[in-house]
Structure 1
């Protein structure tokens, strides 16, 4: 009896261990980790990109002769009226404030200057705009409206065109490259011959390009390399019989494969400046299609969309020729102007860049908003990916990057919405933070496990582990069932044995009684 109960207890322990420990442990070890993403919040941002954004740009009014005590309030009313008449894609406004000596000069400042005419002028090296007014405009109370009109249509015309829905928007060109904070510049001197030549590019870059590089340093970090390439005129000799060449013909004829194959940079975006001279042997009279009477020079510059600038010289170089700084400076100046469009700072080469400082400042704000939009779209793509594949792993690193991105976004929005912040340092810091925001979002989306889409559907899991779990389950269950069946069989056999034993004893007693009776009868006889 004791042995029977012990075997039953052991069978039950095996079954409970398999069901309560084995199966949950297997399920736990084979279940992928899916971090809980803030899906609802990301979806709300996707549905309304700028629900918590209201870009505020502080502007300070600085009068000269007439001290207008309430000029900033009057201009604010006109500004609000003009902005309310526009349908805004992104909520934004100008906060007009009075100027005092504590205001940083790096803010947007409107200088009022009394003159005999009405007009405006934007400073080249600062964010100051001078508004000229006369006594008549003061008497007619037209000065506040003129200041407001100058701010919206000129000083902040980039914001007005980018952040508002205009009925006939300016068509966007495909010349500029996608924005990235790190850009490589490759400057090459190409000659169709193998004659030894040289150039004073180091002095030119140091004296001329370095200030331009410093000007754009808050927006783009440039790395530069230079090289001289022989026996290569980019196949431009094929156009020598062409007159009045166009940029389209030039793009089709140029062979940039050899030049591009030499560029291996760590930056994701590279722009080029190619200064090309014809071959003295092949084109002794030079390129006949080069004709630039505007500046009476022997070279002509062309912008190649999303690649860079090519400067084509009319005449070939002689042996041991040396390009001096005086020759290279105009080329670098033209290249610097073209860089504004290649980087997306201006929309058209025909636009006159009145104030690079104001343009760069506006570009910072537009880029910050675009980075916010790009980050939100990346997070939404991540959410859609995780929803599509319910068995895809979502590592903790992905959740951590998403949290960092959302916290950083809130900090950026707080900076954009604060009317007290508006100098170069603040906008540069916000731009750096927005670039980091995009990096966090892309790191989360392109995580190794997310990128490879390593996931195991439930059917696949069952199919893989069924050859192992099937025999184990069958053996365990059959063993328990067999144990209980054996116990029942032993119980029946024991009952049978007891019945047989009791019957045998009864028969023996009857036989003994018969013998006693027979013995007693024989004694009587």
Structure 2
């Protein structure tokens, strides 16, 4: 027996559903609280039945979201609600952490292009089972993120990929028996001049994921400070190193076939690393760690808030422009775009389009003095004969009236 109670009112989707399990229920397995990765639900066992304990659990889950929203709204007229709820959270957020998350993440977009590249120092491996690996570990994540953005995927392989000339290169550490990359070389590791990486062209940003296989003479290759084999490049993508000759690397066998083709088993951990990097690059919150569904819902609320703020700012600028230039024409398309507030994303894009409407922008640099200078030479030759004819008619009418008066 169990009962569920939504936190939000019945109209609309609840932000969090609390599921209370009866004593001895097999659903809790003795755990007092649990989050499911695919659910926006908090499962509570019989050990947490007091209102205060339940409130503490809910507060622990929702407080990071409150802090993030307060961070977005800080410095705006919406920073404080009617009840002052956001003001209270401003003293608790970690501004540095939120700044770092926003700095490394791409600008919100409706579409992202994911480019997965295999760069090999020598002539092998020359192929990889990237489709199988992506289907197993990346596709479920992209499906879950479908409500946030659309994703397109491309892959490529490049052999004889040399280190970037901008870095000193790895150094051998005799104590550990490993080649190590210095921290300051990580940002310049990608050889942009010779590696055919996908730039951000057209709609949507390109997120690059690079898998580098070093030559046997430079393997195992790790990061000096952490000993890891992967790192994030803010607003660009992620890099991972695969040391095939390292004993800890999972490999089915050492046959020539395995040497020329990376199997899905070789790529398991790599794709999981890329998936984790992707969540950071699109700005997905790291908490609550136990529920991907709640993290995605939090990201949707953050994006909606940011887009609404951007839309309000753009529409305000458009309104000020129209009031400043009363003679500027307002096409029907602009009126339609300004009213397209069905959702925050459409409103942001529509307002930007309305603000930069070509038929309006041209009028910004066309003051009234220019209108006089343009139209007077055109209307002058037409206006003078009309004025003279009108004066002649008035004089004739006046003379006629005088003659009529004299006769009477």
Q: Is the TM-score greater than 0.5?
A: yes
Secondary structure of the 1:216 match is helix
Which of 121, 129, 133 matches 2:34? 121
The answer for the alignment partner of 1:286 in structure 2 is: 219
1:119 positional shift = 4.1
Q: Does structure 1 conserve the Cα–Cα contact (< 8 Å) formed by 2:164 and 2:188?
A: no
Deviations for 1:391-447, whole angstroms, at most 9, x for unmatched residues? Answer: 433211101211232xx2xxxxxxxxxxxxxxxxxxxxxxxx332232322222232
Counterparts of residues 36-115 of structure 1 (less than 5 Å): 62-63=2-3, 94-95=7-8, 108-114=17-23
Pair 1:435-2:339 in alignment: no
Measure the CA separation in 2 of the matches of 1:158 and 1:260: 40
Deviations for 1:144-179, whole angstroms, at most 9, x for unmatched residues? Answer: 01101101212x234322233321422221111122
Pair 1:362-2:286 in alignment: no
CA RMSD in angstroms comes to: 3.9
The answer for the alignment partner of 2:384 in structure 1 is: 474
Counterparts of residues 67-466 of structure 1 (less than 5 Å): 94-95=7-8, 108-114=17-23, 119-134=32-47, 143-154=50-61, 156-163=62-69, 164=86, 165-170=89-94, 171=96, 172-173=99-100, 174-195=103-124, 197-235=126-164, 238-241=168-171, 245=181, 247-259=183-195, 262-263=198-199, 265-279=201-215, 284-286=217-219, 288-290=221-223, 300-314=229-243, 321-346=260-285, 353-405=289-341, 408=342, 433-453=343-363, 456-466=366-376
TM-score by length of 2: 0.74
When residues 105 and 151 of structure 1 are mapped into structure 2, their CA distance, relative to the original with a 3 A threshold, is closer
When residues 322 and 314 of structure 1 are mapped into structure 2, their CA distance, relative to the original with a 3 A threshold, is same
* Greater Cα radius of gyration, structure 1 or 2: 1
TM-score by length of 1: 0.59
The answer for the alignment partner of 2:72 in structure 1 is: none
Deviations for 1:224-259, whole angstroms, at most 9, x for unmatched residues? Answer: 000012332451873313876465531145433554
Measure the CA separation in 2 of the matches of 1:193 and 1:278: 8
When residues 233 and 316 of structure 1 are mapped into structure 2, their CA distance, relative to the original with a 3 A threshold, is farther
Secondary structure of the 2:146 match is coil
1:471 positional shift = 3.3
Q: Does structure 2 conserve the Cα–Cα contact (< 8 Å) formed by 1:401 and 1:443?
A: yes
In structure 1, the gaps of 5 or more residues are 1-60, 65-71, 77-93, 98-103, 409-432, 493-525
Q: Does structure 2 conserve the Cα–Cα contact (< 8 Å) formed by 1:391 and 1:455?
A: no
Measure the CA separation in 2 of the matches of 1:490 and 1:130: 102
Q: Does structure 2 conserve the Cα–Cα contact (< 8 Å) formed by 1:219 and 1:364?
A: yes
Instruction: Answer 1 or 2: which has greater helix percent.
Output: 1
Counterparts of residues 463-502 of structure 1 (less than 5 Å): 463-481=373-391
Residues paired across the two proteins, number = 356
Q: Does structure 2 conserve the Cα–Cα contact (< 8 Å) formed by 1:241 and 1:289?
A: no
Measure the CA separation in 1 of the matches of 2:161 and 2:270: 20
Q: Does structure 2 conserve the Cα–Cα contact (< 8 Å) formed by 1:233 and 1:276?
A: no
Deviations for 1:160-212, whole angstroms, at most 9, x for unmatched residues? Answer: 22233321422221111122221110000012334561111111122222222
